[in-house]
Structure 1
Amino acid sequence: MHRLAAGPALARLEWVLDGLDGKPGWGADASDVLAAAFTAVVTPERYVEVTRGRAAGYAPVVVVGLDVGETTARARIRRHDGTVDVVSCVVEAAPPHRIASTWVAGLVPAGLTPRLPVDFTDYDLPPVATGARLVVFSGVPGSGKSTLADAAGAELGIPVFATDWLLGALTPFGGRYFEAPLAMAEELLTTLALRQLLAGQSAILDHPTERVVTRERWRSLARRAGAEFRVVVCRCSDEEVHRDRLEGRSRGIPGWHNAGDWSTVRQRLANFPSWHGEALSVDTVRPRERSLAAVIRHITA
C-alpha cells in the first residue's frame, strides 16, 4: 500500500490498513498501538486475528477516498467484489495517540431505505397532483443550456436544479475528487425531481444527460408520477461561437470552474447520443428571445 501523509490519526489508520493489506508480521505491536479502553473489550490477539482474516477481501488495499482530522481518520477502500467499505479510526488526543476505537462498515449502511431505482415503472409512489412537468435541458458544456434553462425557469416559475451548482457545493468536501461526479449529480437530480413531483410541482433539470440510461430513468419517473416529460436539447451550430462561450464564460458558481476545455467538449459532442421522440432541438446561435419562445411553447404544450 502506498504511504500517506503524516499525522497521529492517519498514522494509526495506516497501521490498520497494513493489517487489511496482509502485511507480513503485522500486529506484533498491537498491545502498544491499541488503547486500554479498546483492549478491555477486544484483546489485541483477537483484533489481530480478525483483521488478518479480513485481508482476504481487500489485499492489496486500494484506497479510493480519505477524510482526516486530528483524532479521527477514515479511508474508503475497495473490496475485491467492487463494493466499497469505510475503515474508521479514532485515536487518543494525548501521545502516543493509541487507537481508542476502529471499525469497518459498508459505505452504504444496512437498514437504510433502498436507493432510487433505475426504472420507476413499478416504483411505489403515493398519488400525486397532475399538471406537473419534468423538464430536462440537455447538451454539452457551452451549448447554452444553462442560460435557457434559467430563463425558462424564471418565465414559468419552475425551480432549476443544475449539475454545476450541486457539484460546486460539494467541492469543499472533496467533491472534485470523487470517482464518478456526473453519476453522483444524476442521483442528486433524480432525488430532487422525485421530491418535486411528489409535491405536485414541476422541476427543470440542467444536466448534459449524455447517458441514455439516465434519460430513460427520468422519462420513467415522469410517467410514473403522472407528470409531463419535456426535453430541450441545446446545441451551438457555430463552432467558433461555441468555443468562445466555453473558454470565456464567467458564471460565478461557488466551488466550480468558469472556463471549460474545448478539446474535451469537442470529443463529448462527437459522441453525444441523439435524443428521440419528444425532444426539442434548439440552436442557441439564434437570438435568445426566439429560442426562449420556442422552449416555452414546447414546455407548456
Structure 2
Amino acid sequence: MHRFAASPALARLEWILDGLDGKPGWGADASDVLAAAFTAVVTPERYVEVTRGRAARYAPVVVVGLDVGETTARARILRRDGTVDVVTCVVETARPHRIATTWVEGLVPAGLTPGLPVDFTDHDLPSAATGARLVVFSGVPGSGKSTLADAAGAELGIPVFATDWLLGALTPFGGRHFEDPLAMAEEMLTTLALRQLLAGQSVILDHPTELVTTRERWRSLARRAGAEFRVVVCRCSDPQVHRARLEGRGRGIPGWHDSGDWSDVRQRLASFPWHGEALTVDTVQPHELALAAVLRHIIA
C-alpha cells in the first residue's frame, strides 16, 4: 500500500532513486524520462552512466527524509559513510512531467563559509566588541528570564534575541517537529550574537542555557570578540508561584505555545544554577528590585 501523497515529482524522484540503488536494467527509458532542456546539456546516456556510478556510494538506498510537492521533490539519503546527501528532482508542469533538472548535494553543501566553532578561542575574529557586552539570561520556562531580559534590554537599549521567538518563526516550516530545536536555537542565537559583536554592539540572549557546552561556547565568543560576558540566572523559589506563571502565561509569540509543562520544568531544574560569574535572581521578589540588581550586574 502506498503511504505517500502521489505527485509527478515524487514518481520521477523514485525513478532516480532506483538508479542510485543500482537497479538492474535501470535507465533504458532515460530518453523518455528526461526533458529536452535537460538532455540538451547532459545526454541520457551520460546521465545514466553518472547515476549508475554513484550507486556505489548509496546502494542500498536508505531514505531518511522526504519533501514532496507537485513539481519538486527531495529525498535525504544516507551515504555508505553515514553522511547524508539530498537528491532534488524538478519536473515539467505539463504531462508527462519529464525531469527538467535534478542534482545531488550534501546536506550541508560544499563551498559554504565554515560553520561557527564550538570554542571561539582560536577562531579568526577581530576584537571589535571592546566595551560591548554579551549578556545571557538563563533559566527554566516560567522562571521570569524573558520578562527580565526584555526589561533590561529596554532600559539599556540592547537588542534581545529569544529562543521562543526564533523557534516560533520556524513553526510554519515544520519547526515543531525538528529533531533538536534547542540546538537549532543555540546556533541561531550564536550567529546573531556574533553579528552584533562584530558591529561593536552589545547583545542579550534569552535561552535556557542548560548545557555547560553552550555556556562555555558563549563565554569564549565574548572573550574572543573583546566583549564583557554577563550571566543572569533566573529562578522562582516558590513552586506554586512558578507553576502558576508557567501554566497561566499568555505571551502571544507567533507559532509558539503560551503555557508549559510543569513536570518537565521540575526535571530541568537540576541543570541550574550556574557557577562562577552568574548573578542568580529570585523572581519572587518585586520586579523593580530584581531589575535593579540585574542592571547593576550588567553595567558593572
Distance 1:26 1:236, change over 3 A: farther
CA distance in 1, matches of 2:141, 2:24: 50
Q: Are the counterparts in 1 of residues 246 and 260 from structure 2 also a CA contact under 8 Å?
A: yes
What is residue 62 of structure 1 aligned with on the other side?
Answer: 63
The 8 Å contact of residues 139 and 233 in structure 1, kept in 2 or not, is answered as: yes
Q: Aligned partners of 1:193, 1:268: CA distance in 2, in Å?
A: 25
Q: Which amino acid aligns with 1:89?
A: C
**256-265 vs 16-25, greater mean Cα deviation:** 16-25
RMSD: 2.2
Contact 2:120 2:220 in 1 (8 A): yes
Give yes or no for the alignment of 1:197 onto 2:197.
yes
Matched, 1:158 2:158: yes
CA distance in structure 1 between the aligned counterparts of 2:150 and 2:19, rounded to whole angstroms: 52
Query: Is the 1:65–1:77 contact (alpha carbons within 8 Å) kept by the matching residues of 2?
Result: no
Preserved CA contact (<8 Å) 2:66 2:73:
no
Question: Residue type of the partner of 1:239?
Answer: P
Q: How does 1:40-59 map to 2 (within 5 A)?
A: 40-58=40-58, 59=60
Q: For 2:187 and 2:292, how far apart are their aligned partners in 1? A: 30
* DSSP 3-state at the match of 2:54: helix
Please tell me whether residue 12 in structure 1 is matched to residue 12 in structure 2: yes
Q: How does 1:165-176 map to 2 (within 5 A)?
A: 165-176=165-176
* Other-structure match for 1:35: 35
> What is the match of residue 215 of structure 1?
215
Paired letter, 1:171: T
Change (3 A) 1:56 1:245: farther
What amino acid does structure 2 have at the position aligned with 1:284? T
Looking at structure 1, the residues matched to 172 and 143 of structure 2 have their Cα atoms a distance apart, in angstroms, of 27
Take 1:276 and 1:192, find their aligned partners in 2: how far apart are those partners?
25
- 1:219-298 aligned at under 5 Å gives the runs 219-270=219-270, 272=271, 274-298=273-297
- Structure 1 53/207 Cα, relative in aligned 2: closer, same or farther at 3 Å? same
Whole-angstrom CA distance in 1 between matches of 2:273 and 2:52? 51
Could you tell me which amino acid in structure 2 is paired with residue 63 of structure 1? V
- Structure 2 match to 1:124: 124
Give the Å deviation of 1:212: 1.2
Aligned counterparts of 1:3 and 1:103: Cα–Cα separation in 2: 25
**TM-score (norm. length: structure 2):** 0.90
- What's the CA shift for 1:156? 1.1
Consecutive unaligned residues of structure 2, counting only runs of 5 or more, are none
1:72 matches 2:66: no
Which range is displaced more, 261-270 or 130-139? 261-270
Q: Report the counterpart of residue 104 of structure 1 in structure 2.
A: 104
Q: Give me the whole-angstrom Cα distance separating, in 2, the residues matched to 1:139 and 1:82.
A: 36
Aligned-residue offset at 1:40: 4.0
Tell me if the contact between 1:20 and 1:61 (Cα under 8 Å) persists in the aligned partners.
Answer: no
Percent identity among equivalent residues? 86
4+ residue runs of structure 1 moved beyond 6 angstroms?
none
Distance 1:32 1:300 in 2: 69
Structure 1 residues 24 and 280: alpha-carbon distance in aligned structure 2, compared to 1, 3 A threshold: farther
For 2:213, give the aligned amino acid.
V
C-alpha change, 1:41 and 1:121, in structure 2 (3 Å) is same
Rounded Cα–Cα distance in structure 2 between residues aligned with 1:273 and 1:283: 13
Shift in Å at residue 221 of structure 1? Answer: 0.6
List gaps (5 residues or longer) in structure 1.
none
- Report the Cα distance in structure 2 between the residues aligned to 1:280 and 1:65, rounded to whole angstroms: 45
Task: State the SS of the aligned residue for 1:298.
Answer: helix
Give the TM-score of the pair, scaled to structure 1.
Answer: 0.90
CA distance in structure 2 between the aligned counterparts of 1:71 and 1:121, rounded to whole angstroms: 46
Moved more, 27-36 or 104-113: 27-36
Greater CA deviation, 107-116 or 143-152?
107-116
- Give secondary structure in 2 for the equivalent of 1:75: strand
The C-alpha deviation readout for 1:187-226, integer Å capped at 9, x for no partner, is 1111111111111111000011112111111000101111
Q: Residue 168 of structure 2 contacts residue 255 of structure 2 at CA under 8 Å; is this kept in 1?
A: yes
